[in-house]
Amino acid sequence: MRSKTKVSAGNRLITVLVFGVVALALYPLFRWAVIDAVWGNLGPEACKETFGACWPVISEKGSLIIFGRYPAAELWRPALASALLLGTAIVTAMPRFWNKALLLAWIAAPLLFLTLMGGGILGLSSVPSSQWGGLPITIMLSVFGIGCAFPLGILLACGRLSSKPVIRWVATSYIEAVRGVPLITVLFMATFILPLLLPSGWNISAMVRAQVAIILFTAAYLAEVVRAGMQTVPKGQFEACEALGISRFETYVKVVLPQALSMVIAPTINTFVTVLKDTSLVAIVSISELLMTARQALADPVWRTHFIEVYVFIAVIYFVFCFAMGKWSKSLERAYIFSKGRE
């Protein structure tokens, strides 16, 4: 009892010290972002007098940063489209909703997204994909990227562990080849080399090429994560299935993969986070995702000096998504490992 109070006193001291140091370190930031900051919907002159943040730049440029050059009168369309896609992704993140209806949602959501964004039917005016931009693009590239790369990664992982040499060889070469090059290279190849390889009549939009590049690239990484998980499944699990007469396919679907995936929840979601952040690289092939629209906003000479505020703004957006995925990872681990008495 005595030693316990001693420990907790020591703990309290450490807690206070840590909080103190963190508060000291963060105070200047807080001062810049809140105390000395200029708020509201004002002109650039309002910020002349202060050393703090100039948030009017966000109220002025926020819609350009978030929606890019999408026609201003139609902004409800990218907003609704993003919400639909994000909603589908969030529902999918909760395994208790995994059923046939969700599968249909995964067919409907992309179609609705593209219809809303592109228009041209149902009385929606047509908006070419070169005018799409900002957060909807980041969400689209991430959600489609993760949603397609994940099943593909599982297939590749199974291929790499297959007993058939041809399948094993194809999967292994693919994974090694893709992991051997940076995403930027893949994006460049998809943008500049792919059109040369395709028959001349074919014209695939830059957006589709970038999306495909992200999917193919991510799949190779996920394949390795999933494979690591499958290797933690003991041989006895396969033998138990064999002895019960369960087919090889069903053994993988019902027994091996559920265990394998639950062993690699953290690295899998880590890869998802990387996908979200890597979408910013498509700016290189002139697609206006969030980072690109932020830079476009700063092209305005009047506001150019307030680049820090703009980058902080998009950093906060990225952070919210990444933080949410981290929380999701934790809750999945709780549901799939700890609550089942597995260590």
We find the least distance from the C-beta atom of residue 282 to another protein, in angstroms, to be 37
Smaller CB separation from another protein, 43 or 245: 245
Smaller CB separation from another protein, 106 or 336: 336
Give whole-number Cα distances, 78 to 62, 177, 224, 267, in Å. Answer: 14, 36, 34, 31
Smaller CB separation from another protein, 230 or 298: 230
Contacting residues toward another protein, per CB under 8 A = 234, 236-237, 239-247, 250, 254-255, 258-259, 262, 336, 339-343
Q: Which two tokens stand for residue 170?
A: 């194809």
Q: Using CA atoms, how far apart are residues 51 and 53, in angstroms rounded to an integer?
A: 7
Cβ 271 vs Cβ 225: under 8 Å: yes
Smaller CB separation from another protein, 176 or 250: 250
We find the least distance from the C-beta atom of residue 157 to another protein, in angstroms, to be 18
We find the least distance from the C-beta atom of residue 42 to another protein, in angstroms, to be 57
Smaller CB separation from another protein, 2 or 340: 340
Q: Using CA atoms, how far apart are residues 242 and 230, in angstroms rounded to an integer?
A: 17
Cβ 109 vs Cβ 84: under 8 Å: yes
* Local structure of 175: helix, strand or coil: helix
We find the least distance from the C-beta atom of residue 331 to another protein, in angstroms, to be 17
Give whole-number Cα distances, 297 to 240, 271, 279, 309, in Å. Answer: 60, 30, 19, 11
Q: Minimal CA–CA distance to 171: which of 222, 97, 125, 103?
A: 222
We find the least distance from the C-beta atom of residue 339 to another protein, in angstroms, to be 8
Site of tokens 């039917």: 121
